[in-house]
Structure 1
Amino acid sequence: MPRRARRLTLAALVPLILAGCTAGPSTRPPVVENDGPAPSEKTTTPSQAPLPELAEPRGSAIDWSDCGAETQQRLGADGGEAGGSLSYSCARITTTLDAPDLPRRGIKRIAVLKAGTGPVPLVVVNDVDGEPGTLYAAKLAATLPPELLETFSLVGMDRRGTGQSDPARCIPSDVRATLLGHDPAAGLEPVLDAARTAGQQCAINLEDEQGALDSWRAAGDLDELRDQLGVARLNAIGHGEGSNVVALFGARYPGRAGRLVLDGVPDPSADRAAVLDGMAGGAEATLDAFGEQCATDPGCPLGGDVRGDVTALAEQARRSPVPTGRGTALGPGLVLRAVLAGLADRNRWGELAGALAAAKSGDGAKLSAFVEPMLVETEYAAARLDGSLATQCNDTVTRLPADQLAKAAKDLDARHPVFGAVLAQELAWCSPWPSRREPVPQLGAPGAPPILVISTAVDPVTPERGTIRAAERLPSAVRVAWQGTGHGALGSPCVAQATQAFLVNGTVPRDGTLCPA
């Protein structure tokens, strides 16, 4: 289709797209309790630069090569079938390590994947502890509206220290097992000891790279990718914690920011305990929503009390760890971590229900699969915990002494009896880690073009209240609120279509637009 005709067709769709959404504050009761009043919505349109026009690359310096067969293998049977009509190309680019002791020096290799053949690149960044950005982009491309892929090709980037971007390998396997699997009811001292060992081993194995794995420098990698793609402005989607990298890119390089979409921005608060409190509340609200769905699904193998099933399984694993058939077993910590991972991906809720039912009967293999990518290094991929822990600790300044750690864990457990204590362990992960020597970067920048921020009403990873707080720090943010459940909202047809209208047509939605569940 000629480009002018395509633009006219998509423009005609905009009224239909926005008809599925409404504008205005939500009238629903809050689903996640937290201290203090809910953040307020913006009531005025911020002063901002116009949304930049789309432009095709002026000439890319990236040497792409076909990686279709490899990508289909990575996607697996279901994902491969869904993305069978797409083409995939892979490459590596070189960026600057820029370690704190070696500013603007050193080399870091970054893996990238291009999905589709649309003329304008749209970069995709995922959570640092989630699927590598290359794999996430390939899966996302298979689910987005086909019209969007007529304009854009998706370019996934593996965050530094993750995936195929020189992944961090520094935490011994038994230390990972303690960090992720220690019984949350048995105190924090073993987790602190494991965190000390992790910090020491990462200092030895990573050397200068240890302090260079953070979101600020990942934003610099985005600018290097933008330059090598041959575009003056970067168009990008950030998912979950990956939205932080995209937002920081907009703050560092406002004149190079194109059309940016942030799907679930994490809470920017410096109080890590408060952030984890919100995550624990969001996770338990998601667990309840999962239970409600299961109760209405005749095919769900669980009973009517999924919250009770999870807590009973954790207690069962405390008495007798659940075997996986791989020479390992799931204790209560790994049971809860696996459930958290399963709740984040609503597309896997059926799989999670089956895994929980099997684990109740003594077979933990299916449930273990949810947590193994964080825990286990394979022939094809490093364990995700190493790069995730390094990035998380470099991004935060919270370092609590042992007595405050114990109090925070006790408070979180009292407020959120299912997930509070296990998430509180993450406060201990960074306590022995070297303190950040640079100022914590701020998200917002004056003069930036409109940024589309998407929140999800019940999100176990980036709860809506935290995303609202982040949006309030972005002067040019406009928020679309999905009234659904799960981590990220691009799977919602209403959100996907509003995102398409923003990216393709430059239609900026009204701040506070609601998308129904």
Structure 2
Amino acid sequence: MRVGVFWRSVVLGVVGVLVLAGCALGPSQRPPVAVRGAAAAAPATSAAAAPADPNALPAPEPQNPLIEYSDCTADTLETVGAAGFPVPAGRVLSASCGQLEVDSDPLRPAARTTRIGVLRVSAADAPRNRPALVVVGDSAAGGSARLAARLATLVSDPVLATYQLVGLDRRGSGADLLDCAPPESRTALTDTPPAADAVMLDGVLEDARAVVQDCYLLLDSDIGTYRTAATAADLETLRTQLRVTRLNVLGLGDGATAAAEWAAAHPRSVGRLVLDSPVDLASAEPDRTEARTAAVEATFDAFAAACLARGNCPLGPDPRGAVTAVVGGLGQRPLASADGDRLTAGGALAAVRAGLPEPARWPALAAGLAAAGAGDPSGLITFLASVLGPGGTFDGALATACNDSAQRLAPPQVAQLAQRWGTRYPLFGAAAAHGLLSCGPWPTAPSDPPIVALPPETPPVLVLGTAADPRAPLTGAQRVAQLLGRSAFVSWQGAGQGAYPRNACVIALVEQTVIGGTLPRDGTVCPA
């Protein structure tokens, strides 16, 4: 798949429209809901001290940031509006952009520094010192700064009356965008056919080597610093620059995993912490990729069911069969767009995986798949633009994924996995196995300690999991909660990347935590 420079980067939404639903619990009592009337009260400046009740959450602190911000309201709101997240009527937002200087390698402080993007977005009339709720997104979903802006269009008024949202970009995205891979190698790795043979897999490994060679020439020893543990260190740096004793954080995907690692390393720095669909980095490859592949298949089933439920599904009565036929046809004959871009079977699967995290985009994804079946690839090419196009997520996501794992697989191992997974996960299994070769030549990053139990002085945290999350399997989020120990786990029986703020039940429980200062009951289940 080749994406021309004229393609605008499509911002992948990682938060969806609100779906009104109630909270469903097991045999336990119904959990309390955040008291919205208390949200506008000014937080006490003495909140930094640990609360007397070990299960109570520290109150939000006013911030006094050292970061130099400049107004970027117009550009920010235009970008998120174009991505399908307009500012609600009656809500006036203000956005300021800044940069945070961090150690390039947290394991070698003061050796070199780099700058990562920070975006502060709030109600236009918010005082400068209103407490911060830091947003850390997933490495495969673009910059956290833009995620904070999207959230500002979706969260409730009480949240904006209590906090300013501060998006902290992941390394490799936003102001620190990683752009080092040869475009032809990105394309080749994406285009690997699901039915690749041994010769093709040798070629995939060579393309992966080309990526590593070019990235190493650009980054040298910093090639290993694009990893989740580095984001954990960046969070602590941000806390010091906001000049607060305790930091309130909302993490998504492996951004939630980074926040969990930060909390374990800096327990006295933790305020109110929500981990939305954390990725289980304690599991080794290929088990981690297999679990994610099963989750992608489950998310596709939810996508297919939603298409049928809307009526007049463009994929017909059997969406899975229709998509399988589209991919099979592209394997025999790729499609060229009017602009000369080329869509292959591997590219089509990558486009589907790019669209599945955001249910708001599912109708466009279904239409693009149906159009590809009729000979028009333009819809799916648009989905790929956010990955392979200018400002795309490919390089940063690949670097983070490879640096977060010490395992490296050879072509024969991958071929065996592709055969086995192709049977277990018929749509995405083989391609997911082939993707493991992308990390084959990648240098092994310094070993980071796995997530461990939170020290007793850490305030308890809220962990969310989603039944069909294509980036973070529900079982992985549950395991993270178990490893942390001091947590309450809430599962949402919906689909898409992350549970908040997609569902009224989830919204109430998150607000109970970040506004009300108490955790919901562990084991709460929110219906779809």
Residue from 212, 219, 225 that aligns with 1:199? 212
Q: Secondary structure at the match of 1:483?
A: strand
C-alpha displacement of 1:92: 0.9
| Matching residue's letter, 2:132 | P
Q: 1:395 to 1:97 in 2, by over 3 A?
A: same
Residue from 18, 23, 29 that aligns with 1:20? 23
| 1:426 partnered with 2:431 | no
C-alpha displacement of 1:103: 4.2
Please give the alpha-carbon distance, in whole angstroms, between the structure 2 residues aligned to 1:229 and 1:358: 49
**Over residues 32-81 of structure 1, what are the superposed CA-to-partner deviations in whole Å (9 max), with x where a residue is unaligned?**
xxxxxxxxxxxxxxxx9434322333521111221111112221333234
C-alpha displacement of 1:268: 2.8
Please give the alpha-carbon distance, in whole angstroms, between the structure 2 residues aligned to 1:308 and 1:66: 49
Q: 1:105 to 1:281 in 2, by over 3 A?
A: same
Q: Which runs of 5+ in 2 are unaligned?
A: 1-19, 29-52
Q: In 1, are the aligned partners of 2:63 and 2:132 still within 8 Å (CA)?
A: no
Please give the alpha-carbon distance, in whole angstroms, between the structure 2 residues aligned to 1:362 and 1:81: 36
Q: In 2, are the aligned partners of 1:234 and 1:258 still within 8 Å (CA)?
A: yes
What is the match of residue 114 of structure 2? 108
| Matching residue's letter, 1:115 | V
What is the match of residue 408 of structure 1? 417
TM-score, normalised with respect to structure 2: 0.86
What is the match of residue 87 of structure 1? 94
Q: In 1, are the aligned partners of 2:229 and 2:448 still within 8 Å (CA)?
A: no
| Matching residue's letter, 1:486 | G
RMSD: 2.0
C-alpha displacement of 1:99: 6.1
Please give the alpha-carbon distance, in whole angstroms, between the structure 1 residues aligned to 2:419 and 2:452: 31
Q: In 1, are the aligned partners of 2:224 and 2:444 still within 8 Å (CA)?
A: no
What is the match of residue 226 of structure 1? 239
Q: In 1, are the aligned partners of 2:58 and 2:459 still within 8 Å (CA)?
A: no
C-alpha displacement of 1:18: 11
C-alpha displacement of 1:501: 0.9
Q: In 2, are the aligned partners of 1:250 and 1:444 still within 8 Å (CA)?
A: no
Q: Secondary structure at the match of 1:90?
A: strand
C-alpha displacement of 1:24: 5.3
Range that drifts further, 284-293 or 441-450: 441-450
| 1:477 partnered with 2:487 | yes
What is the match of residue 181 of structure 1? 191
Residue from 227, 246, 257 that aligns with 2:270? 257
Residue from 51, 56, 59 that aligns with 2:64? 59
Please give the alpha-carbon distance, in whole angstroms, between the structure 2 residues aligned to 1:111 and 1:464: 30
TM-score, normalised with respect to structure 1: 0.87
Q: 1:280 to 1:145 in 2, by over 3 A?
A: same
Please give the alpha-carbon distance, in whole angstroms, between the structure 2 residues aligned to 1:50 and 1:361: 58
Q: Which runs of 5+ in 1 are unaligned?
A: 1-16, 26-47
Aligned residue-pair number: 473
| 1:130 partnered with 2:135 | no
Q: 1:66 to 1:225 in 2, by over 3 A?
A: same
Q: 1:269 to 1:228 in 2, by over 3 A?
A: closer
Please give the alpha-carbon distance, in whole angstroms, between the structure 2 residues aligned to 1:211 and 1:289: 36
| 1:350 partnered with 2:355 | no
**Over residues 246-273 of structure 1, what are the superposed CA-to-partner deviations in whole Å (9 max), with x where a residue is unaligned?**
1111111111011111111112343221
What is the match of residue 10 of structure 2? none
**Over residues 415-461 of structure 1, what are the superposed CA-to-partner deviations in whole Å (9 max), with x where a residue is unaligned?**
11100011112211111111233344324332221110001112221
Q: In 2, are the aligned partners of 1:145 and 1:497 still within 8 Å (CA)?
A: no
Q: 1:507 to 1:314 in 2, by over 3 A?
A: same
What is the match of residue 270 of structure 1? 283
What is the match of residue 454 of structure 2? 445
Q: In 2, are the aligned partners of 1:116 and 1:153 still within 8 Å (CA)?
A: yes
Q: In 1, are the aligned partners of 2:227 and 2:404 still within 8 Å (CA)?
A: yes
| 1:169 partnered with 2:179 | yes
C-alpha displacement of 1:513: 0.4
Please give the alpha-carbon distance, in whole angstroms, between the structure 1 residues aligned to 2:447 and 2:109: 12
Q: In 1, are the aligned partners of 2:409 and 2:440 still within 8 Å (CA)?
A: yes
**Over residues 87-140 of structure 1, what are the superposed CA-to-partner deviations in whole Å (9 max), with x where a residue is unaligned?**
11111121111265x444211101011111451100111110113111111111
Residue from 292, 300, 308 that aligns with 2:321? 308
Runs of 4+ in 1 over 3 A off after TM superposition: 48-52, 80-84
Range that drifts further, 449-458 or 76-85: 76-85
Q: In 2, are the aligned partners of 1:413 and 1:420 still within 8 Å (CA)?
A: yes
What is the match of residue 397 of structure 2? 388
Q: Secondary structure at the match of 1:116?
A: strand
Q: Secondary structure at the match of 2:515?
A: helix
Q: 1:435 to 1:129 in 2, by over 3 A?
A: same
What is the match of residue 339 of structure 2? 326
The sequence identity of aligned pairs, in percent, is 38
| Matching residue's letter, 2:76 | T
Please give the alpha-carbon distance, in whole angstroms, between the structure 2 residues aligned to 1:231 and 1:255: 11
Q: Secondary structure at the match of 1:271?
A: coil
| Matching residue's letter, 2:232 | A
Please give the alpha-carbon distance, in whole angstroms, between the structure 1 residues aligned to 2:468 and 2:85: 25
Q: 1:250 to 1:99 in 2, by over 3 A?
A: closer
Q: Secondary structure at the match of 1:189?
A: helix
Range that drifts further, 79-88 or 356-365: 79-88
Q: In 2, are the aligned partners of 1:89 and 1:115 still within 8 Å (CA)?
A: yes
